[in-house]
Amino acid sequence: MPMTSTPYRIRPFAPADAADAAAAYLAGRPHLVTTPEVVAWQAGLPHYHLLVAERAERVVGTARFGPVTESATPHQGFLNVSVLPEHRGTGIGTALLTAAERELAALGTRDVHGWADDTPAALSFAAARGYRRGRAGRFCGLDLTAPLPPLPPTPPGVELRTAADFLDDPYPIYLVDVDGTRAEPGDLVLDDQPYEGWLAEIWQRPDQDHTLTAVVLADGEPVAFSAAQTDGHRTYWSAFTATRSTHRGRGLAGLAKIHSLHRAKARGFTVAYTQNDAGNAPMLAINARLGYRECATEWKHTRALCE
């Protein structure tokens, strides 16, 4: 029977779907990092919703969506759809998108924000369904089997630690995170994430590697970090690099990142990826100095569900 005529159904995620859902997210996108464990964990978060498309008893696509809980503008939501390449063009992506938009509307969402790969098919899919293209995100990759730049001298009064040193009390790391988030480019103004939410959604992520996350201390206080997530095997993801506003312009973000990369290389990780807003010139410059090279682009898209 031709693939296009094989029936499919859209349904809520179940824990047994985790491996196939992760595969749909990663297909054709080697610059992304996730695991089945992460997918299952995300599906359990209170503001995260996950629908799957099932065909021939296999999950072949997902829609990941929910409210943007920290947005200072009310009624904002996120929505991203992924379908395995061999199942695209069959109506599955549209069905996932429509079902997710329906649920977002029921939650009171007014504006939906999502990302589309920089391919003709993905961009035309978004445009045909009423999504307006906005800012770009740049993915960069780094071969960790090649030599890294040497570790620079540590400035006086500065100390390098890891997030694992703060397992008993990660609140000082949280303070750096929220300060850094305020400076991130974006379309939405975000309120500071509450500490309990940060613990549950960031600090306790199952792929967060606290031993690879480098933390810079100045006069004994954390002022910068470079957070690391991994697939547990070969791929390292630079999740967020931040510096407190009082200590920017001293090279501390780059110092944290190069230390984290050296740790990842020593642990046997072979490739590193990161993503930054195309307008984040300081971080793009740091990445370039470390040897990262652009490998993919995605575009922010927005649609008003209701006026």
Closest CA to 142 of 261, 276, 282: 261
At 3 the pLDDT is 56
First vs last C-alpha separation in the chain: 43
Domain that holds residue 284: 142-297
Residue 194's pLDDT band, with cuts at 50, 70 and 90, is: very high
* 305 contacts: CB under 8 Å, gap ≥ 6: 77, 101, 104, 105, 109, 110, 111, 112
In a domain, 132, yes or no: no
Does 175 lie in the same domain as 61?
A: no
The CA distance from 225 to 208, in Å, is 13
Written as six digits, the tokens of 128 are 């045909």
- Percent of the chain predicted with pLDDT > 90: 95
In a domain, 291, yes or no: yes
**Number of residues that make up the chain:** 307
At 306 the pLDDT is 76
Does 150 lie in the same domain as 273?
A: yes
At 40 the pLDDT is 98
Mean residue pLDDT of the chain comes to 96
In a domain, 248, yes or no: yes
Q: Which amino acid is at 194?
A: P
Residue 48 CB burial class (10 angstroms; 0-12, 13-18, ≥19): middle
The CA distance from 256 to 243, in Å, is 9
Does 30 lie in the same domain as 166?
A: no
At 2 the pLDDT is 41
pLDDT single digits (tens) 223-279:
999 999 999 999 999 999 999 999 999 999 999 999 999 999 999 999 999 999 999
pLDDT single digits (tens) 27-58:
999 999 999 999 999 999 999 999 999 999 99
Residue 179's pLDDT band, with cuts at 50, 70 and 90, is: very high
Q: Which amino acid is at 220?
A: G
Does 174 lie in the same domain as 40?
A: no
Does 277 lie in the same domain as 146?
A: yes
Does 146 lie in the same domain as 105?
A: no
In a domain, 209, yes or no: yes
SS3 248: coil
Q: Is the pLDDT of residue 1 over 70?
A: no
Does 91 lie in the same domain as 37?
A: yes
- Rounded to two decimals, the pTM is 0.94
CATH number of the domain to which 49 belongs: 3.40.630.30
In a domain, 243, yes or no: yes
pLDDT single digits (tens) 117-142:
999 999 999 999 999 999 999 999 99
Does 104 lie in the same domain as 147?
A: no
Does 233 lie in the same domain as 159?
A: yes
In a domain, 129, yes or no: no
184 vs 131 pLDDT, higher one? 131
**How many independent structural domains does the chain possess?**
2
Does 277 lie in the same domain as 179?
A: yes
At 307 the pLDDT is 59
In a domain, 12, yes or no: yes
Does 289 lie in the same domain as 150?
A: yes
Does 152 lie in the same domain as 284?
A: yes
